[in-house]
Amino acid sequence: MQQTLKKLWELFNKKEKKQILILFIAVLTMALAQIIGIASIMPFMDLVMSPDMIEESRALQSIYNFLGFQSITAFTIFIGTVMFSLILLSNAISTFASWYKLKFVWENNHRLSRRLLKKYMSKPYSYFLMHNTADLGKNVLHEVYALTINYLIQLIDLITYSIVALAIIILLFLTDLLITSAAIIILGSSYILIYLATKNKMKTAGEKRLEANMNRYKTAYEAFNGIKEIKVNSRENEFLNRYTHYSAKNAKLQAWNQIIRQMPRYVMEALAFGSVVLLVLYFVIRGEDSTQLISKVSLFAFAGYRLLPALQSIFNSASSMVFNTAILDRIHEDIFEAGKFAAQKWPDSLPEPMEFRESLKLKNITFSYHEQGEKILKNINIEIRKDSQIGLAGETGSGKSTLVNIILGLLESDQGKIIVDGRELNRDNIRNWQRNIGYVPQDIYLCDNTIVKNIAFGVPEAEIDFKAVKRAAQIANIADFIENELEKGYQSIVGERGIRISGGQKQRLGLARALYHDPEILILDEATSSLDEATQKAVMEAIDKIAEVKTMIIIAHRLSTVQNCDKIYLIEKGQIIDSGNYAELANNSQKFRKLADINSQL
């Protein structure tokens, strides 16, 4: 438990820790107010049952004379009003403490979810190759909320009601040691035994729930993203059944947790109300007079009214914290993860582009996705002169895209260097290098927004340069489609992942996005693979025009796209096995001819 609480404490910054201290003071004040309210019951009941006690009590007599009362009845009404005011004040303080608690908790929920999202976005690209994005989204949007509701709030409630219960118990001890001891032994031991009996099972159930919820989100995410193929292949039932399995498991574990948390309440309530009858009989047997009997029973009954919910809340909170420990462990691990997946700070503002005047050199680049895994790239050496056009050719799985990801600065090589105009790329300047690059992936991501916001992707709306948007669209050969065929032109919504436009149009929007910032280097990762021949020809003509003033790196699916390249590198199993221009490779490399299917064209 101590280690778990330490993890929770580490999630807070200095300001939040100060807020916790203020909250703790508010809780202490609330407990004090409640105990004063309870303590005022017994003297008031004594006064009601025996008005003559005013003459016997020096304190009451002093108050009576100081305030100038002439009637015992009026004085009794006054004392009752004061007692009622104390109870109202106690509830007002409790209301404030509850308001402050909820305010703190929900503001923390916002800050923690933002902090977790920032940590995820700060992690290297390789992290996302190893983790399911549906699970990461679930952690940000759902598990942080669950941590807030089912752990943080429960911890604060645990502290709050523990203080309240302790204060009430101390008061009752001062009233009657024997009865209070018996009540605490019966009620306290019952809760403790149930908690100890279910603790380990609840922790295991919480871990299983976290896994079931992950698979639930993952299945729903896959179902929506693969809806086209699912419908074509009539596989709706498979995904529904898979979701049902994980959702039912999650629901079953949640219900079991709630049952365990609420189970003692009903037994304890019956036991408490039965105890009131036994308490009366006990006082009768002891020969207590009616005045003492009524005042003490009233005190214990009112104290029980406050104490039972406090004990139940303590048990409920402790059980909830055990059940949700797995969430805290996961979020803490993701935020404070070290090693190769440690978060990397990004700049507060866009960095200046790195100067690129001469060449980009890759020296002895070696890479593998796992430390002891197979080498995806082996001793790669390439020089790319500024304003040259370079092609990367090879079969699927040869390492072309991995090599491009290293050039993009998304992956770090295990060995070797990348040198730009004599400067080695590292974590300190990689962002400056990336500012030179326009990248068109094979699979274009389009958000459910307007065309203009997809071309100027990630640019604040007020900063979008519409002239640059139109220029990029014209170069990408999609301006006519946007301006003449879409009713709302550049303000047209493309749908989630571009579902409302064709595959070729998606590719051209991706190309326009890469060109929006007018980059020094344009990297095309099989970016024209889904275009028809006529569209590809038009796009490549546009690309060839800008290639005269830009450096181009093209991964070829159709080798016709690299015919005009100054140099083509042929890659096989992570190694460069040949290089030259298209004509040289066609004449001298059998493997290149096979890849280009040149023999079949002759």
Q: State residue 602's pLDDT score.
A: 38
Domain 2-11+108-337, CATH: 1.20.1560.10
Range in 53-62, 90-99, 295-304, 513-522 with the lowest mean pLDDT: 295-304
Neighbours of 187 (CB within 10 A): 21
8 Å CB contact between 318 and 162: no
Mean pLDDT, rounded, for 464-477: 89
Q: State residue 599's pLDDT score.
A: 35
8 Å CB contact between 163 and 27: yes
Every domain of the chain and the residues it spans: 2-11+108-337, 443-518
* Stretch (H or E) spanning 438: strand 437-440
**CA–CA distance, 383 with 418 (Å, rounded to integer):** 10
What pLDDT band is residue 395 in, cutting at 50, 70 and 90? confident
- Of residues 227 and 431, more confidence is placed in 431
Mean pLDDT, rounded, for 498-517: 84
Residue 144 CB-half CA count within 13 A? 24
Residue 380 three-state SS: strand
* Phi, psi dihedral angles at 374 (to 5 degrees): -65, 140
- Of residues 415 and 222, more confidence is placed in 415
Residue 430 three-state SS: helix
**CA–CA distance, 98 with 233 (Å, rounded to integer):** 54
| Residue in 215, 312, 191, 198 with CA at minimum distance from that of residue 256 | 198
8 Å CB contact between 191 and 265: no
**pLDDT beyond 70 at 480:** yes
What pLDDT band is residue 381 in, cutting at 50, 70 and 90? very high
Domain 443-518, CATH: 3.40.50.300
**CA–CA distance, 263 with 381 (Å, rounded to integer):** 69
| Residue in 17, 305, 316 with CA at minimum distance from that of residue 155 | 316
**pLDDT beyond 80 at 298:** no
| Cα dist from 602 to 41, 563, 598, whole Å | 106, 17, 7
**CA–CA distance, 138 with 452 (Å, rounded to integer):** 29
Q: Which residues contact 527 (CB under 8 A, 6 or more apart)?
A: 440, 441, 442, 507, 510, 511
Q: Which two tokens stand for residue 408?
A: 């993009």
- Going through 251-368 in order, the beta strands assigned E by DSSP cover 359-367
Q: Which residues contact 160 (CB under 8 A, 6 or more apart)?
A: 27, 30, 31, 97, 101, 313
What pLDDT band is residue 268 in, cutting at 50, 70 and 90? low
Q: State residue 601's pLDDT score.
A: 47
- Pairing type for strands 359-367 and 377-385 reads antiparallel
Mean pLDDT, rounded, for 497-501: 80
Residue with tokens 């590719």: 507
Mean pLDDT, rounded, for 536-549: 68
Q: State residue 42's pLDDT score.
A: 59
DSSP, residue by residue, 151-169:
IIHHHHHHHHHHHHHHHHH
Range in 103-112, 336-345, 426-435 with the lowest mean pLDDT: 336-345
Q: State residue 391's pLDDT score.
A: 92
186-207: per-residue pLDDT in tens?
A: 667 777 887 788 888 888 988 8
Q: Which two tokens stand for residue 193?
A: 């035994």
**pLDDT beyond 50 at 82:** yes
Q: State residue 420's pLDDT score.
A: 94
| Residue in 140, 144, 169, 253 with CA at minimum distance from that of residue 205 | 253
**pLDDT beyond 90 at 498:** no
Q: State residue 281's pLDDT score.
A: 62
Q: Which two tokens stand for residue 104?
A: 């703190």
| Residue in 47, 546, 123 with CA at minimum distance from that of residue 554 | 546
Q: State residue 56's pLDDT score.
A: 66
Q: State residue 425's pLDDT score.
A: 92
* Phi, psi dihedral angles at 420 (to 5 degrees): -115, 115
121-173: per-residue pLDDT in tens?
A: 888 888 888 888 888 999 998 889 889 888 888 888 888 788 878 877 777 77
pTM of the entire predicted model: 0.77
Helix and strand element counts for the chain (H, E): 25, 10
Looking at the chain, the whole-number percentage of residues with pLDDT higher than 70 is 82
* Stretch (H or E) spanning 511: helix 503-516
**CA–CA distance, 569 with 577 (Å, rounded to integer):** 8
Q: State residue 600's pLDDT score.
A: 44
Mean pLDDT, rounded, for 265-278: 61
Mean pLDDT, rounded, for 324-328: 90
What pLDDT band is residue 96 in, cutting at 50, 70 and 90? confident
**pLDDT beyond 90 at 567:** yes
Q: Tell me the residue type at 260.
A: I
* Phi, psi dihedral angles at 572 (to 5 degrees): -140, 125
